Amino acid sequence: EETDPAAIVAGQFAAGGNHAGVRASGAKGVCLKGSFAPASGAATLSKAPHFAKEVPVTARFSMGGSNPKVSDKVKPVTRGLSVRMSGEAGDMVFVTISAPVFSAKTPAQLLEFVRVRAPGPDGKPDAEKVKAFAAANPETTRQAAWLNARPVPASFAGVDYWAVHAYTLTNAGGETKTARLKFVAADKAGLSDDELKAKPDSFYADELKERLAKGPAKFDLVAVLGQPGDTTSDPTVAWPEDERKAETLGTLSITAIEPDATCDARTFDPVVDLPEGVAGPSDDPMFAIRSPAYAVSVSRRAN
Ligand code: HEM
């Protein structure tokens, strides 16, 4: 049976406390602008016009979940980076997170994942239910385990972001390659436990302002190339990146903070907004459903 994207979105809102006027995920965030400059070799992998010449970018950093008051200090929450690269014939959008894996491999599993996290009368989810779900669905624990094994990023610009799904890149000659894409931070930095303790609950927005006053925050967009046997259908499984060839497709420069209204007017849709030369996976059930789910969230936060 097909899982209703609206049911997932309702579950996402409920898990974060049903706040009004915010996103179902990435509720707390900062809107940005910048540019993307392709690397000279990018066109050998993809014919997307965005890999042929520099283009303007609208972007947004965010904290995962629908709670706009979530602390920047929480470890097992993904940081998000959404990127819209403008193009004359259409945009190229990537909506990425600070982990190489997602927390569910099917929409039905994601629905249960968010439902068991609905707060009870005490404002907290039922710990026993969460535990039982994790035990029965071990692949849903990989993302939090990955985040818990690493320090809290010192900055939204201090951590790498993965598009998670396996994309197919097609060049002008019709050659195709399967790749997982990631934005690799030029200035990676994590906080020690003592540094973290000294921080207020919200420090990312101020840190970003100070950083951008000195110069752009940069990320390389890197394509990790797949080999036969690498899964294209399961976003809870990471590829062995260290054993794979990687190509840099270009450099994202975040230059300034942009009014929230620029990012709130529409959604970053990673499914619909892709040019020829870059395609999402057809066999990953988590990919296509993102488009209707994001649309439900937009309609709800606009009301
Ligand atoms: C690899 C998988 C996924 C990644 C990396 C991801 C990442 C993100 C990020 C970073 C945002 C914040 C967007 C912004 O700044 O505007 C977001 C928003 C959202 N995500 Fe996902 N997501 C994934 C899969 C899904 C799935 C499968 C669903 C539901 C079926 C979903 C539902 C949503 C919704 C409803 C929003 C709010 C959109 C809006 O209001 O504009 N996501 N996601």
Q: Which atom of ligand 1 is nearest to the CA of 297?
A: 40
Residue 293 CA, ligand 1 centroid: distance in Å:
8
What is the pLDDT at residue 301?
A: 82
Look up the ipTM and state it.
0.92
What is the pLDDT at residue 129?
A: 97
* Overall pTM > 0.95: yes
Q: Which atom of ligand 1 is nearest to the CA of 162?
A: 5
What's the rounded Cα separation, in Å, for the pair 134 and 128?
Answer: 10
Residue 65 CA, ligand 1 centroid: distance in Å:
9
Please report, in tens digits, the pLDDT of each residue of the chain (303 residues total).
789 999 999 999 999 999 999 999 999 999 999 999 999 999 999 999 999 999 999 999 999 999 999 999 999 999 999 999 999 999 999 999 999 999 999 999 999 999 999 999 999 999 999 999 999 999 999 999 999 999 999 999 999 999 999 999 999 999 999 999 999 999 999 999 999 999 999 999 999 999 999 999 999 999 999 999 999 999 999 999 999 999 999 999 999 999 999 999 889 999 999 999 999 999 999 999 999 999 999 999 876
Q: Which residue has the tokens 């209204």?
A: 261
Residue 64 CA, ligand 1 centroid: distance in Å:
8
Q: Write the CATH number for 156.
A: 2.40.180.10
What is the pLDDT at residue 303?
A: 60
- What is the b/e burial string over 180-208, where b = at least 16 CB atoms within 10 angstroms of the residue's CB? bbbbbbeeeeebeeeebeebeeebbeebb
Residue 174 CA, ligand 1 centroid: distance in Å:
31
**C-beta separation of 50 from 36 below 8 A:** yes
Residue with the nearest Cα to atom 43 of ligand 1? 25
| Number of compact structural domains in the chain | 1
What is the pLDDT at residue 246?
A: 98
What's the rounded Cα separation, in Å, for the pair 167 and 208?
Answer: 30
Tell me which of 12, 115, 294 to substitute to probe ligand 1's pocket, judged by most ligand atoms within 8 Å of the beta carbon: 294
Give residue 197's domain range: 5-301
